[in-house]
Structure formats: C-alpha cells, structure tokens
A and B are shown apart, each in its own frame.
Chain A
Amino acid sequence: MSPADTKPKAIRRALRSEQVIVFTVASQRFAIAVDAVQEIRSADSLAGAATELVQTKLKKVRHKIERNGRTYYVVHAGLHFGLPVTRPSLVLVLRKARACALVDRIEQMVEVAVVRSLPRAFVGEERRWYRGLALMGDSVIPVVSPSGFLTAGEISLLDSVRAEMAAAAAAEAEGVSAP
C-alpha cells in the first residue's frame, strides 16, 4: 500500500483530482488541464498579432504569434485531430509548449476525479495527443497533452521556416536601404 492509500478517501480524491477545461472542436469534446493553459483569447483578438507562416508541409499551422518574448505556433486543432474543418473562435495559449491551439469554444471548467491512462489498444499518434481519458458522468473525454500538438520534428521544421522568413525579410530590408 502506498503512503497515499493510507489517507482518508476524501484526501486521496483531492490529491488525484484536477481541474480541466472542456473545449470543443467540430462538436468533439476534449479536455486540457487548467494548469497547461496560460491564457484563452478570442481568435479575432490575436489576428493583428499573428504572422502568416509561408509553408505547405504542415497544414495545421498557418500562423505564429509572439507573446512574452516567445514564439508560439498556432495549431488548428481540427486539422490536428483530423476533424471536419470549422471556424475556430478561441485560441488556447499553452504553458510549457510552443503551440497555441485554435478551438471552437469552451464548454466548461470542471474537476475530474482521475485521468485514466489511454488503453494500450490505442497505439497510434493518439498516444502522443492524449495524456489519458477523463470520465465525466457517462462521457469519456480525451485529455489532451499540450506537448502533443507539435512534435519536435514539426517544431524544428517551423523554426527553420521562421528563420528563412526572417532572413528573406532582412535581405529585402537591406535591398531597400541600399543606395
């Protein structure tokens, strides 16, 4: 028996439970830990701050934004999860990740008793996408992993696109300023 098991039930529950934000993308519900989200903004409010990324290899990422000295790549969650394309209205700016997620709407903020492991039967990319599954009433909702929106390879690709764009912009500026 682990030390946690010796505690009363209510304390054990409190130790394991966590606050999650339930959001939807194309009518599909997902959850993400509250702690994993730095801010939630309307997609419109970020329109002026977003810079288009000129690349075609990664369709789910079309823009980047700079916030607090960091570059975030804006991931269209619908394209990421292979869902029908919708017009997202919100951006989840994530902590400890280089991604922001474009989602349709926030449904609720709720405490879940426990996040269960994804069954081993799931062996594909979903193991990277999800931390586990939350039971909410009769519903099973995948709890997304913030680091699952972009792989290291994808970040590397986007970083090189960004560097190329910066170099091209610098070269253009030099050309303009040259006599």
Chain B
Amino acid sequence: MSATPPAGERSFVLLRLTTQRFALPAETVIELVVPGSLQSFPHTDPLLLGVLVRRGQVVPVADVAQIVAGPGAQNRKFYLIATRHFGAAREWCAIPVMGDCELISAAPQARDEGAPAYITGAVHLGQEQVPILDLDSVFAARIAEDSPAEVRV
C-alpha cells in the first residue's frame, strides 16, 4: 500500500481495534482481508490466535489489541496484514480489526511523554488524536512482560 503524500506528511492506515483507532505506517501494510478460515494448533504465545493462508503464505494472526487496547475487544471480523521485522528478515502478520480502515495522509506529531514504547507518535484528525503504532515494538513489549508459557490451541 503506497501513496506519495505532501512534504512533511506520511501515509497511514487507520484501523479500529476497539473503540479506539490506531494508525500504522502505510508502507508496513500489505492488505485488508475478509476472514478466511483461521487455523489453530498448540503453541505457547497468548498473543497468537493461529494462522491464515494468504497468497500461498502461512500468516500468523496476532491479537495485538490485548496489548495496545486491553481485553474485551469484540467484533473484529477482518484481518489487516502488515509486515513485521525479524532482524533483516520480514514476515507477514495478520491483525484482527473491525473493518473500517482508512488510508490517510497526515503529518505525524511527536509521541506523548510516558506513552508506551510501541506508540511512536500521533496523527491529529479534528478532535481525535490517533496513536501511531510500531508493530515490532508491540511484540517486543509483549516479550518483556511475558508470564510463564502456557499452551494455547
């Protein structure tokens, strides 16, 4: 997903995880897909719901809302596929979202002091301040606060 925004502006995809919206840099977003069949198998990561098969790739589905928006997120029936980085390697990751995603151009503002490390700034849309998410940092935050492993299916 790419566009050429005016100078000083960047493209973001707005996604709704709960009542709150978040912004992801558009260059990290691959596509928004309607639900396919989520496949699950035993594993130990509470953030991972399973995998999807998309364009011949096995794409892990991560419920990042647990970290950034807290529990109780419902009705997230679509998957936003974005890129995660593992050193030099990249891998797709699907995030359950509510569906009403938008592509915008905006000048990113600095992050608030005290904001979690995975919030890298914000975009202002009228009265609404939408936090910009750094997906890789969300997972890093999760690893830092992880509790002992428990098997999930």
Interface positions of A (Cβ within 8 A of B)? 28, 30, 81-83, 116, 119-126, 129, 133, 135, 138-142
Chain B residues, CB < 8 A from A142: 41-42
Min distance, Cβ B119 to any Cβ of chain A, angstroms: 21
CA distance A124 to B45 in the complex (A): 7
What secondary structure prevails in chain B residues at the interface with A? Answer: strand
Judge whether B43 and A124 touch: CB under 8 Å. yes
Min distance, Cβ B56 to any Cβ of chain A, angstroms: 8
Judge whether B93 and A138 touch: CB under 8 Å. no
Judge whether B41 and A141 touch: CB under 8 Å. yes
Instruction: Determine if B59 is an interface residue (Cβ-Cβ < 8 Å).
Output: yes
* Max count, chain A CB within 10 A of own CB: residue among B41, B60, B143, B152: B41
Number of A-B contacts (CB under 8 A): 64
Judge whether B84 and A140 touch: CB under 8 Å. no
Judge whether B93 and A121 touch: CB under 8 Å. yes
Known: A83-B153, A116-B58, A138-B37. A124 touches B86 (CB 8 A): no
For this complex, 15 residue pairs linking A to B, each with C-beta atoms less than 8 Å apart, are: A28-B41, A28-B153, A81-B42, A82-B150, A121-B45, A121-B60, A121-B84, A123-B45, A125-B149, A126-B42, A126-B44, A133-B58, A135-B58, A138-B37, A140-B39
Chain A residues, CB < 8 A from B43: 122, 124, 126
Chain B residues, CB < 8 A from A141: 41
Chain B residues, CB < 8 A from A116: 58
10 further A-B pairs in the complex, CB-CB below 8 A; given A30-B41, A121-B48: A82-B150, A83-B42, A122-B48, A122-B60, A124-B43, A124-B44, A126-B45, A140-B39, A141-B41, A142-B41
Min distance, Cβ A31 to any Cβ of chain B, angstroms: 11
CA distance A137 to B89 in the complex (A): 27
CA distance A102 to B151 in the complex (A): 18
Nearest residue, chain B, Cβ from A133: B58
Instruction: Determine if B13 is an interface residue (Cβ-Cβ < 8 Å).
Output: no
Judge whether B37 and A82 touch: CB under 8 Å. no
Judge whether A82 and B153 touch: CB under 8 Å. yes
Give residues 84-98 of B contacting A (CB, 8 Å).
Answer: 84, 86, 89, 91, 93
Judge whether A121 and B91 touch: CB under 8 Å. yes
Give residues 137-152 of B contacting A (CB, 8 Å).
Answer: 139, 143, 149-152
Nearest residue, chain B, Cβ from A84: B153
CA distance A82 to B45 in the complex (A): 13
Give residues 69-92 of B contacting A (CB, 8 Å).
Answer: 84, 86, 89, 91
Min distance, Cβ A154 to any Cβ of chain B, angstroms: 15
Chain B residues, CB < 8 A from A83: 42, 151, 153
Nearest residue, chain A, Cβ from B61: A121
Instruction: Determine if B51 is an interface residue (Cβ-Cβ < 8 Å).
Output: yes
Give residues 31-69 of B contacting A (CB, 8 Å).
Answer: 37, 39, 41-45, 48, 51, 53, 58-60, 62
